[in-house]
Structure formats: C-alpha cells, structure tokens
Amino acid sequence: MITSLISGLFADNSEVANRPADALNTPQSLYDFKVKSLVGNKTVDLTQYKGKKVVILNVASKCGYTKQYADWEKFNKAHGDKVVVLGFPSNNFGGQEPGTSEEIATFCSATYGVTFPMFEKVEVKGENKAPIYKWLTTKDLNGWNDKEPSWNFCKYVVDENGKLTNFFASKTLPTDAEFLTAVGL
C-alpha cells in the first residue's frame, strides 16, 4: 500500500496537452457515448451534457490524489451550471480502486460529499479500455490526443460541442490557472 501510494505521487509528470488548431475533425464526439451510472446501473446518455463543458476524471479511493475529490466537488458546486464533472472509478493504477460500486459510492458520499455524476468502474488503459477512454486516448477517434491516464485523477476537458480540447495529468487541480483557462473560467 505505501509503495503504491509513493509511486502514485511520482507518476504524474505534470503533463498537459491542448487541442492544436490543425486537429482533425472527427465524426465521433462525447455525445456518441452511453455509460452506466455507479449506483443503480442506469444507462446515461452523454448527450444530456450538450452545451456545457465537461471534465472527465479517472478516480480512485485509495490513492495519494484521492483528496482531490473534495477539490472537484467544490468546483462542481461553484461551476456545475457551466462545467460538468464526471467521475469514472478505475482500478488500473496500483489496485487503488478495489471496491464494489456500492462501496465506492458510499466512500465518495460519506468522505467527500461527492454529488457530481459518477459512473461504473472502468478500465482506462490497456486491452479492455472502456469505449469512452478509447475515444479520449486515440488520435484517430478524437482528432489529436493519444495521451492515456498516467495515474489516477487525470483530466480530459471536452467543449460544449462534444470535442476533446485538453488533457491534464493528476497533479492539476481545478484551481490551477491553465485548467481554469481551458474551461473558460
């Protein structure tokens, strides 16, 4: 546990990537995806977020970055009318999200008061990568980006038209100037 926590603190590399002006326009967008909710296993059509910016996070409950739940919840409460935060639990890094959907939901609610939408646990890298993460990390599908999450709490920003615009590594917080510029705040 301590080893994975320590390695997590150094896994960030503070990467940032921004959509270049000459990025390809692709037929696929965020709105082509349907995902399962964390609680109740309901299908959620992401078209409901048209007209808003969206921040997609891969999250974990036993990570050195887990305290970011509080930062993202505060951001969500302040800006959720313009920028939607979506959480996708993942156990890809150091086994830091081992819980069931119910355990994850309880932890997020009880520990950090999370109210932003959370979805079923997915793989964010590798052979069994979830379709939404295939889109986020495949240049041919999103027009420009091939950066996979390097650890928990990486961020992908999607614009009001469903196009991927930015990638931020784990250390980036919702109060960081470059992130705020990316979401237009």
- Residues tagged active-site: 63
115, 76 contact by CB (below 8 A): yes
What DSSP character marks residue 155? Answer: E
149, 17 contact by CB (below 8 A): no
C-alpha radius of gyration, the chain, whole number:
15
The encoded tokens of residue 1 equal: 């546990």
Residue 6's SS3 state is helix
Q: Which parts of the chain fold into alpha helices (H)?
A: 2-9, 68-79, 101-112, 131-137, 139-142, 177-182
